């Protein structure tokens, strides 16, 4: 908190500040004005706006001073970066705080993993606030290492940066009045609860909101987002690697203003995060598409802070945290300097050094699947039509399609000519040998296979291929290296990005991660895959709470009916 007595003295003008930003045009978040005032900082907080004597001076002339950006909902693990590298990646984009749901690592390592992750976040030049993961597993159709109990949630909420209950993904359970799910929304220590209600409308939405849920980041259409906002929800507008909803939802802001709206990234892969940006990329895209600069900044700063009850963040005002950045223009939102707690954290894209954390052995040893042979992936068939997962580019939603498979010696096999690949999910936490199998269309895969231990949310091994032998090669390699993403052709692995930290994160600098990922994606392109972010798309095909058809280690899931369904249709 710093020395408030001194902060007040600096605000009065009786003591010199530590730092003064001179000559910048300062964004006034509460009136949407641009103020021609100097900003004085003491003990990591803003003392005031006006003239100050003494202190270090930073020339902000011909630049704009904006509050540090806040990601309202993110799974940091989706970046595939250790948290220190995640911080190094987002700080140059002006992000100074994120609100994370760590349910990825919770599915793999339980609460021990969550507490370890939060431990290594301490001391970062990035504030990481946590929401306690409410759905581990996301549903009874998924197989994590172990479920999180209400007591587990309470242990997370005792952390210093804990806020509330993370996205309640089991919306069918909440709407049906399931006592166990409703109890999670009343867990001790929670101030609020995030939602996850893709496509939920009408009376079902009323029931979901009546349970006390106050936000949603799954709206994909203007009509859906408008109904949710009308009924009191905060609409967290998402722009993720393969769930790009920003442009579809901007009319909500154009027509009704930015109130009750905030920006979030949810799941961004490292290439998108580093090369295109973070929350600043959303501001850039919003302004380019007609949103007022001031409204975009509010949704990137003050609004996420207000929704989450972070009362001393999101604005440049007396008593607020000195988290802000200088930007030369309001089109690109590219910071020249970023300050965290009044200290220079980024100068011309270069992040100041800060301590890094070691990864213990128990966090690395997380892939424990039973051995898999090609015969284990075979699908017996009499030629009957089968259910097929249909990928929708740029969305987490899938279509439930039907096709008559090609058969060979009594087995249904992949048919690359029709863009019909096999998909399998292999349980990897307890070596049960469970394998869910099916078919998918939309990748364009012509030959080979690709696989990942990043498979939302239980993070079992998910693999797609045209050949059982290539699929097995991928599975074997992931077990050998401790996780990651791999591509195989001709019975052997050709490229990989190793993710040995819980099978989710790299232990390398983000520059190396990008190089490895580029090679993997380039190879996939030669195998016929053309969709954007294919590994992110792959990972969400195993998530049993986003319609319409998904697959887990327990089988095919009809999410709308919320039940396991057979592959073949009678």
CA distances from 66 to 86, 283, 298 (A): 21, 12, 10
Strand 337-340 relative to strand 343-347, pairing: antiparallel
292 and 427 within one domain? no
* 355: exposed, middle or buried (Cβ count in 10 Å: 0-12, 13-18, 19+): exposed
Residue 513 lies in a domain: yes
Which domain-ending residue is among 314, 329, 347? 314
Residue 1 lies in a domain: no
145 and 80 within one domain? yes
Which domain-ending residue is among 314, 348, 375? 314
- Residue 308 CB-half CA count within 13 A: 35
What's the confidence (pLDDT) of residue 65?
98
187 and 75 within one domain? yes
Q: How many CB atoms lie within 10 A of CB 492?
A: 12
308 and 387 within one domain? no
Rounded distance, CA 26 to CA 47, Å?
A: 14
Q: Which of 76, 78, 73 is nearest to 454 (CA)?
A: 78
Residue 425 lies in a domain: yes
Contact 209, 231 (CB under 8 A): yes
Residue 570 lies in a domain: no
Structural domain range at position 221: 68-314
457 and 309 within one domain? no
What's the confidence (pLDDT) of residue 1?
45
Residue 350 lies in a domain: no
The residues pairing with 486 across neighbouring beta strands, listed in sequence order, are 451, 496
Which domain-ending residue is among 256, 287, 314? 314
Residue 57 lies in a domain: no
Q: What is the DSSP letter of 352?
A: P
Strand 386-391 relative to strand 435-441, pairing: parallel
375 and 305 within one domain? no
* Structure tokens given for 32: 């949407």
411 and 275 within one domain? no
What's the confidence (pLDDT) of residue 275?
96
What's the confidence (pLDDT) of residue 394?
84
Cα–Cα–Cα angle for 94, 83, 146, nearest 5°? 135
307 and 385 within one domain? no
Query: What total number of domains does the chain contain?
Result: 2
141 and 211 within one domain? yes
Residue 1, C-beta contacts closer than 8 angstroms, at least 6 positions apart: none
373 and 247 within one domain? no
- What CATH number has the domain bearing residue 211? 3.20.20.140
Token pair 């580029």 in the structure block, residue: 518
Residue 14 lies in a domain: no
Residue 141 lies in a domain: yes
Q: Which residues of the chain have pLDDT under 50?
A: 1
228 and 97 within one domain? yes
389 and 300 within one domain? no
């Amino acid at each position: 908190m710093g020395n408030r007595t001194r902060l007040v003295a600096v605000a009065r003008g009786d003591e010199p500040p530590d730092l003064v930003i001179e000559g910048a045009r300062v964004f006034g978040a509460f009136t949407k004005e641009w103020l021609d005032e100097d900003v004085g900082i003491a003990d990591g907080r803003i003392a005031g706006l006006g003239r100050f004597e003494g202190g270090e001076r930073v020339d902000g002339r011909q630049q704009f001073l904006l509050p540090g950006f806040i990601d309202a909902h993110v799974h940091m693990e989706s970046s595939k970066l250790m948290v220190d590298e995640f911080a190094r990646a987002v700080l140059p984009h002006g992000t100074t705080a994120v609100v994370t749901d760590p349910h990825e690592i919770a599915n793999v390592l339980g609460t021990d993993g969550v507490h370890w992750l939060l431990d290594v976040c301490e001391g970062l030049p990035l504030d990481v606030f946590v929401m306690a993961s409410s759905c581990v597993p996301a549903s009874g159709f998924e197989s994590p290492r172990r479920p999180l109990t209400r007591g587990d949630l309470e242990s997370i909420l005792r952390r210093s940066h804990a806020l509330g209950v993370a996205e309640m993904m089991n919306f069918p359970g909440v709407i049906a009045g399931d006592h166990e799910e409703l109890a999670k929304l009343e867990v001790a220590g929670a101030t609020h609860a995030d939602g996850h209600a893709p496509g939920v409308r009408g009376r079902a939405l009323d029931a979901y909101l009546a349970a006390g849920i106050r936000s949603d980041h799954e709206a994909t259409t203007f009509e859906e987002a408008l109904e949710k906002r009308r009924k009191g929800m905060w609409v967290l507008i998402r722009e993720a690697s393969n769930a790009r909803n920003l442009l579809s939802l901007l009319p909500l802001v154009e027509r009704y203003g930015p109130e009750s709206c905030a920006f979030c990234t949810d799941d961004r892969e490292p290439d998108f995060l580093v090369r295109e940006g973070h929350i600043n990329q959303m501001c850039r895209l919003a302004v380019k598409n007609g949103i007022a600069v001031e409204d975009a900044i509010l949704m990137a700063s003050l609004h996420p802070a207000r929704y989450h009850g972070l009362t001393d963040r999101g604005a440049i005002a007396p008593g607020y945290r000195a988290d802000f950045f200088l930007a030369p223009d309001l089109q690109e939102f590219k910071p020249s300097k970023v300050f965290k707690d009044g200290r220079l954290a980024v100068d011309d894209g270069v992040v100041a050094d800060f301590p890094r954390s070691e990864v213990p052995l128990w966090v690395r040893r997380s892939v424990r699947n039973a051995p898999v042979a090609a015969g284990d992936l075979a699908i017996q068939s009499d030629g009957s039509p089968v259910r097929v997962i249909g990928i929708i580019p740029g969305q987490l939603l899938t279509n439930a399609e039907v096709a008559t498979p090609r058969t060979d010696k009594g087995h249904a096999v992949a048919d690359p000519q029709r863009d019909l690949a096999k998909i399998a999910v292999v349980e990897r936490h307890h070596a049960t040998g469970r394998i869910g199998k099916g078919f998918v269309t939309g990748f364009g895969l012509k030959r080979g296979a690709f696989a990942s231990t990043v498979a939302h949310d239980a993070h079992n091994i998910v693999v797609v291929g045209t050949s059982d032998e290539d699929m097995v090669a991928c599975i074997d390699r992931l077990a050998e290296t401790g996780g990651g993403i791999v591509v195989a052709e001709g019975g052997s692995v050709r490229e990989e990005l190793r993710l040995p930290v819980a099978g989710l994160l790299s232990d390398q600098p983000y520059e190396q991660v990008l190089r490895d990922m580029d090679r993997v994606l380039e190879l996939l392109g030669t195998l016929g895959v053309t969709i954007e972010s294919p590994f992110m798309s792959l990972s969400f095909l195993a998530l049993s709470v986003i319609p319409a058809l998904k697959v887990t280690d327990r089988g095919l899931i009809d999410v709308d009916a919320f039940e396991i369904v057979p592959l073949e249709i009678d």
